[in-house]
């Protein structure tokens, strides 16, 4: 596996391939299998198109009275592409910028490997990883057909997987492009994540709100949804739209083609944008004095926590923009569907069953379905991204000088965690404000206390993730920490989404942080789980502190 950059990179992706491939695949599998039990009467069948039309947010309602059409609408329209793109954005931003931040690219490029070669090998590995994920999705789709006693549609299954791979590859290429312009990997990921939120919003708005269909064309997700290979007769080419698929691939290739010369020509560790600062400084009198005076005034180097906050400010900003934007938008479209929904609910009993018992006739239920469908995973990934620098800094020997000062290790780790904590507190705050503002602007009535419960109820989840990272980093390499955490997140999220369909044992479900979060927007906060999770997070953090205090400190590689 260490023979080429290509295989080494692919090896780094092994956890992610299985985590995301099986996770998304199971989602598809479960939906195919569940259709028969959920839609069990002719009356239910008859009402399904009406429901699906109302919930176009999830995807285009096409042939929803068949298991494959239902699955395409319910799972494949929005869920699958967003989930894969979250990973794609992280991987794309990390592709070369991650190696630069670690400083390992200098060594890689000191071998007789050209930059072009390096980039193409890494991209190749990423593409193969995406195709593997697509393949796993395809295989689980086939298993779903078989379990639901349908004719197994091999071509449809594989094309569905391929389509997911392509949208993922597009967002990875987008993040790669942004990482050429920004010197921080997490800022590039944050900005690409914000653009993913915009893509989702454009596509779903175009589908949901009248006279805005043109907006969809601006979103890559529209071209993803142009293919519905599970519905064989959706197009003449087995439900797929080769033109749209090629367009996605073409856009990805275009982004790569633009990124390549930027990467080949720029300085390693620098942005590809011209730097004004460097030329503007010119000849100055007393540079030493000025530099020292400026440093003296800099508030952000007065303490470890302030420095950590400043170092990740851009990344935190873009993540919060993405999260806030999504909360505002999803709440504002809620109003447009409010009226018809209430009518629908009164006449169709099936609707409750379809959305795992959530009372979507109420405004809170609707928010649960649209706003709090993605926000928990988004917020938790945000916590992961903000906590990971701890693992990286440990590995890179960044603490050698800091620990030569009389600061105790406990102080160092807690100050760094404190900075992450502030970022993590901001996310629920942004969500809470976003929903309240959007709701009052659109005159959509919500229960402010439940909105607060649902927003701040996310904090224990973030805490658990961040403290787990701090604990694992005490013994494991950052790449392994990422792998373990990704697998844990994917498992947690999918177990909670699928447990009613897959008959997962209760004790397994209870391990999912998303299950413990529950649905506070409808049910109010489960204080027991809230404090229990905070307690667990504190225990994990305490263990992390102990490990850090007892362990050896790495030196610079």
Partner 1 sequence: MNTIIQVNRLTKNYGASRGITDVSFEIHEGEVFGFLGPNGAGKTTTMRVLMGLLRPTAGKATIGGLDCWSRAPEVKRLIGYLPGEFSFDPGLKGAQILTYLGNLRGGVDAKYVRSLIERLGLDPSKRFREYSRGNKQKVGLVQAFMHKPRLLILDEPTTGLDPLNQQEFYNMIAEVHAEGRTVFLSSHILPEVEHTCSRVGIIREGRLIQVSEVTALKDIRQHEVEMSFATPASPAWFKNVPGILTASPGHDGLDIHLTVQGDLREVIKLAAQHDATNLIIHEPSLEEIFLRFYEPEQTPAMVK
| Positions in the binding site for partner 1 (CB under 8 A) | 101, 103, 183, 269, 281, 287-292, 294-296, 298, 301-304, 307, 311, 396-398, 400-409, 550-553, 555-557
Nearer Cβ to partner 1, position 195 or 388?
A: 388
Give least dist CB 109 to partner 1, A. Answer: 15
Tokens found for residue 530: 């809230």
CB of residue 315 to partner 1, shortest distance in Å? 13
Q: Which residue has the tokens 């999803």?
A: 330
Nearer to partner 1, 292 or 539 (CB): 292
Whole-number Å distance between alpha carbons of 265 and 255: 16
Give strand pairing partners of 237: 240
Of 321 and 553, CB closest to partner 1: 553
CB of 550 to partner 1, least distance (A): 7
Closest CA to 32 of 78, 77, 75: 75
- Per-residue tokens: 32: 């195919």
| Nearest approach, Cβ of residue 281 and partner 1 (Å) | 8
Please say whether the dihedral angle defined by the alpha carbons of residues 41, 45, 48 and 50, taken in this order, is positive or negative: negative
Q: 523 near 517, Cβ under 8 Å?
A: no
Q: How far is CA 204 from CA 59, 355, 370, in A?
A: 8, 19, 11
Least distance in angstroms from the C-beta of 307 to partner 1: 6
Name which of 42 and 406 has its Cβ closer to partner 1: 406
Q: Of 40 and 298, which CB lies nearer to partner 1 in the complex structure?
A: 298
Q: Which of 457, 202, 424, 445 is nearest to 326 (CA)?
A: 202
Helix or strand (DSSP H, E) at 538: helix 527-550
Distance CA(341)–CA(349), nearest Å, equals 13
Question: Rounded to the nearest whole angstrom, what is the least distance from the CB of residue 404 to partner 1 in the complex?
Answer: 4
Instruction: Considering the complex, state which of residue 397 and residue 535 has its C-beta at the smaller distance from partner 1.
Output: 397
* Residue 276 Cβ vs partner 1, minimum distance, rounded to whole Å: 15
Residue (217 or 287) nearer to partner 1, CB? 287
The C-alpha angle with vertex 215 and arms to 212 and 216, in degrees rounded to 5, equals 110
- What's the CA gap between 274 and 277, in Å, rounded? 9
Shortest CB 310 distance to partner 1, Å: 9
Structure tokens at 233: 């007769």
Q: Cα–Cα distance between 424 and 540 in angstroms, integer? A: 17
Residue nearer to partner 1 on the CB measure, 120 or 402:
402
Q: Which two tokens stand for residue 268?
A: 């390693």
Which residues fall within 8 angstroms of residue 240, CB to CB, at 6 or more apart?
159, 163, 227, 228, 229
């Amino acid at each position: 596996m260490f023979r080429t950059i290509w295989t080494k990179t692919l090896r780094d992706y092994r956890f992610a391939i299985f985590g995301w491939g099986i996770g998304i695949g199971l989602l598809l599998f479960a939906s195919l299998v569940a259709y028969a039990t959920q839609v069990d009467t002719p009356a239910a069948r008859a009402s399904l198109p009406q429901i699906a039309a109302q919930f176009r947010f999830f995807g285009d309602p096409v042939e929803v009275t068949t298991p494959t059409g239902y699955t395409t609408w319910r799972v494949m329209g929005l869920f699958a592409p967003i989930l894969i793109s979250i990973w794609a954005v992280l991987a794309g931003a990390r592709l070369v910028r991650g190696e630069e931040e670690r400083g390992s690219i200098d060594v890689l490029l000191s071998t007789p490997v050209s930059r072009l070669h390096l980039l193409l090998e890494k991209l190749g590995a990423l593409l193969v990883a995406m195709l593997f994920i697509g393949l796993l999705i395809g295989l689980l789709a086939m298993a779903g057909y078989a379990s639901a006693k349908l004719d197994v549609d091999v071509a449809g299954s594989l094309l569905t997987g391929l389509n997911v791979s392509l949208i993922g590859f597009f967002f990875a290429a987008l993040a790669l492009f942004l990482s050429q312009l920004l010197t921080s990997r997490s800022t590039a990921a944050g900005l690409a994540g914000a653009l993913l939120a915009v893509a989702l919003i454009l596509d779903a708005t175009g589908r949901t709100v009248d006279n805005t269909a043109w907006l969809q064309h601006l979103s890559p997700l529209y071209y993803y949804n142009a293919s519905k290979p599970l519905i064989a007769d959706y197009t003449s080419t087995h439900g797929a739209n080769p033109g749209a698929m090629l367009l996605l691939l073409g856009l990805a290739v275009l982004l790569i083609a633009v990124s390549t010369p930027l990467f080949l020509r720029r300085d390693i560790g620098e942005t590809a944008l011209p730097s004004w600062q460097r030329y503007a400084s010119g000849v100055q009198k007393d540079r030493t004095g000025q530099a020292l005076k400026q440093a003296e005034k800099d508030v952000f180097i007065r303490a470890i926590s302030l420095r950590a906050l400043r170092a990740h400010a851009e990344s935190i900003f873009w993540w919060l923009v993405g999260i806030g934007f999504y909360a505002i938008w999803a709440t504002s479209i809620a109003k447009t569907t409010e009226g018809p929904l209430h009518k629908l609910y009164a006449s169709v009993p099936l609707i409750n069953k379809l959305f795992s018992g959530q009372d979507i006739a109420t405004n809170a239920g609707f928010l649960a379905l649209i706003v709090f469908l993605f926000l928990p995973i988004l917020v938790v990934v945000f916590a992961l991204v903000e906590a990971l620098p701890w693992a990286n800094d440990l590995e890179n020997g960044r603490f050698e000088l800091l620990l030569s000062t009389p600061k105790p290790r406990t102080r160092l780790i807690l100050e760094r965690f404190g900075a992450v904590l502030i970022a993590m507190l901001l996310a629920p705050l942004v969500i809470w404000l976003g929903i309240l503002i959007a709701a009052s602007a659109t005159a959509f009535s919500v229960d402010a206390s439940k909105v607060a419960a649902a927003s701040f109820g996310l904090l224990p989840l973030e805490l658990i993730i961040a403290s787990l990272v701090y604990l694992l980093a005490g013994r494991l390499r950052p790449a392994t920490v990422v792998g373990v955490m990704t697998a844990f997140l994917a498992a947690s999220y999918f177990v909670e989404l699928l447990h009613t369909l897959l008959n997962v044992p209760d004790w397994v479900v209870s391990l999912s942080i998303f299950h413990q979060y529950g649905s506070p927007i409808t049910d109010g906060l489960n204080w027991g789980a809230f404090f229990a999770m905070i307690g667990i997070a504190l225990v994990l953090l305490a263990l992390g502190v102990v490990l850090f205090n007892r362990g050896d400190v790495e030196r610079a590689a």
